[in-house]
Structure 1
Amino acid sequence: MPRLHVDLALAPGLETPLPAGAARHVQVLRLQPGQAVTLFDGRGCDWPAEILRMGRSEVLVRVGEPQSVERELPVAVTLALGMPANDRMDWLVEKATELGAAAIEPLVCERSVLRLAGERADKRVAHWRGIAAAAAEQCGRARLPRIAAPRGFGEWLRERAAADGEARLVLSLADGTTALAQVLRTDPRALCLLSGPEGGLSPAEDAAARAAGWQPVTLGARVLRAETAPLAALAAAGVLAAGG
C-alpha cells in the first residue's frame, strides 16, 4: 500500500485534498477512487485513508482511524556533524533517517567545505527535510528526525552545554579515545554523536569538545569518510541498544 508523508492536521473522518507532492505521487501510481493509501504526519501514527476523488491536480481522501507505530531506536541519537560537501549531505540525511536518527544538527567547522547561511541555508534545510520525509515513507518510520539549521561549531558547542541527560561522544582521531562499542554498553537513554567534516575536526575543535565534557571515541583503526563515520556510529548505537 502506498505510504505518503503529509504536513496536515489529520483526524478520523477528515475529508481533505492531499498536498501537491503527495497528490502527484498518487497520480503517478495511477491509483483510483476507492483504493487505499497510508498517510503519516511524522508524529508517530499511520493513518489509513481512502481515495474519494481524482482530479486533474487534486486528490481527495477520507482519513480513517490512526494506528500507533513504534519503529524508533531504544536510544534517541542526535547526529551533530560537520556537513560534507555536494550531494554527500543529502545521502547522509537519507541514510540517517533510515537508520533511526532522532535529530540531525549540521555544523560549520574550521575544515568545512560546505558553508551555508541565510536564505541559502533555509532552502537547504527544507530540501533535507524533504529527503528525510521520503526516506521515512520508504522505511516505515512514523516519526521524522528533527533537522536543525546549520550553526557554527563554537556557537553550537556553547548552546549544547545546556542539554542534560545525554551521553556526549566525539568521534576523534586524536589520542585518548575509547572504543565506541565499550561506551555504548553503558546503555545510555539519549546520545549525541559529534563528527567532523572532510579532514575531521581541527585539533582546536577536538580539544574544545573534550574540555566541554565530550568523551572521545573511535570506530576502529580505519579512517572513515565524513559521511560514513556518523552513520557507522549510528548503526552501532542502534544494534547495541537493541541488544545486539
Structure 2
Amino acid sequence: MPRFYCPTSLRCGDLLDLPASAARHVQVLRLQPGDSITLFNGGPGWDERDSEHTQGGEFEASVTRMGRSDVQVKVGAYHAVEREAAHRVHLAVGMPANERMDWLVEKATELGVASIQPLMTERSVLRLNPERAGKKQAHWQSVAVAACEQCGGNRVPVIHAVMTLAAWIKAQPAQASDQRLLLSLRPGAQSVRAAVKAFADPASAGAHTEAITFLSGPEGGLSPAEEDIALACGFAPVTLGARVLRAETAALAALAALLL
C-alpha cells in the first residue's frame, strides 16, 4: 500500500487535503477515488512538537477526490506500529561529493538513523556557501521523507543545517548524555563490533545508552587535528577493519552494525 508523509494533525474520520508533495505523488501513481493509502506524520523534529500532531504510528486512509492539483482523503483507522531502532543513532558526517550524499541520506534513513548532521571538514571536497547549503539541506530532507515513505519508517530523521566540524564540536555539551563514537584508523581503536557488543551487554556501562552519536569523515577521513578535537570531546575511536572503504560506504556499514 502506498505510504505518504503528511505533516499535520491526523484524526480518524477526518476529510483532509494532502500536502502538495504527497498530492503530486498520488497523482503520479494514478490513484483513483476509493484507493487505499497509508499516512504518517512523525516528521523532522517530531519529538519537539505538539504530541497531538505527532502521535507516531500510521493511519489507513482512502482517496475521496482527485483534483487537478489537489487530492482529498478520508482518514481511517490508526495503528500504533513503530519500526524504529532500539537506540537512537545520530550521524555526523563529512559530506561526500557529488550525488553520494543523496545516496547516504537515503540509505541511512532506510537503516533507521535518527538524525544526520552534514559537516564541512578540512578534507571535504564539497564546499557550500550559506545559500546553497540551505537548498541542499531542504533537498536532503525531502530525500529522507521519500526514503521513509518507501521503507516503512514512521519517524523522518532530522537533516540538520550544514556546519563546520569545529562549530559542531564546540556546540556539543561538555557532559555527554549519549555514547560518542568516532570512525578512525588510529592504532588502538576498538572494532565497531566490540562497541555494539558493549551496548548489548547488560553488565556494560553503556547498556542503558539510549542515544549514540557517530562521527565519520569525508573522502580521506578527518585530519589528525580534527580527530584530536573529537577525542577531547569524549568520542571513542572505532574501526571497521583493515579494508579501505569509501566515505559513504564506511558510514553506512557502521550504521548498519549500530542499528541492526
TM-score (norm 2): 0.88
Q: Which amino acid aligns with 1:3?
A: R
Q: Which amino acid aligns with 1:58?
A: D
Structure 2 distance, partners of 1:39, 1:90, is 24
In structure 2, what is the equivalent of residue 242 of structure 1?
Answer: none
Shift of residue 162 of structure 1?
4.1
SS at match of 2:166: helix
SS at match of 1:185: helix
Structure 1 residue aligned with 2:92, among 66, 74, 80?
80
Q: Is the 8 A contact 2:94 2:120 kept in 1?
A: yes
Structure 2 distance, partners of 1:41, 1:162, is 33
Q: Is 1:208 aligned with 2:220?
A: no
Any gaps of 5 or more consecutive residues in structure 1? Answer: 240-244
In structure 2, what is the equivalent of residue 9 of structure 1?
Answer: 9
In structure 1, what is the equivalent of residue 217 of structure 2?
Answer: 196
Equivalenced residue count is: 239
Q: Which amino acid aligns with 2:124?
A: S
Map 1:1-244 to 2 at 5 A.
1-42=1-42, 43=54, 44-162=56-174, 164-187=176-199, 188-239=209-260
Structure 2 distance, partners of 1:8, 1:70, is 18
Shift of residue 192 of structure 1?
0.9
| Runs of 4 or more above 4 Å deviation | none
Shift of residue 12 of structure 1?
2.1
Any gaps of 5 or more consecutive residues in structure 2? Answer: 43-53, 200-208
Structure 2 distance, partners of 1:63, 1:121, is 36
Q: Which moved more, 1:35-44 or 1:194-203?
A: 35-44
Q: Is the 8 A contact 1:49 1:61 kept in 2?
A: yes
Cα 1:41/1:162, change in 2 over 3 Å: farther
Cα 1:151/1:226, change in 2 over 3 Å: same
Q: Which moved more, 1:94-103 or 1:205-214?
A: 205-214
Shift of residue 124 of structure 1?
0.7
Cα 1:11/1:162, change in 2 over 3 Å: farther
SS at match of 1:64: strand
Q: Is the 8 A contact 1:117 1:150 kept in 2?
A: no
Structure 2 distance, partners of 1:226, 1:116, is 18
Q: Is the 8 A contact 2:59 2:79 kept in 1?
A: yes
TM-score (norm 1): 0.93
Shift of residue 189 of structure 1?
2.6
Deviations 1:175-219, CA, capped at 9 Å, x for gaps: 221111112212143211100011100010011111222111101
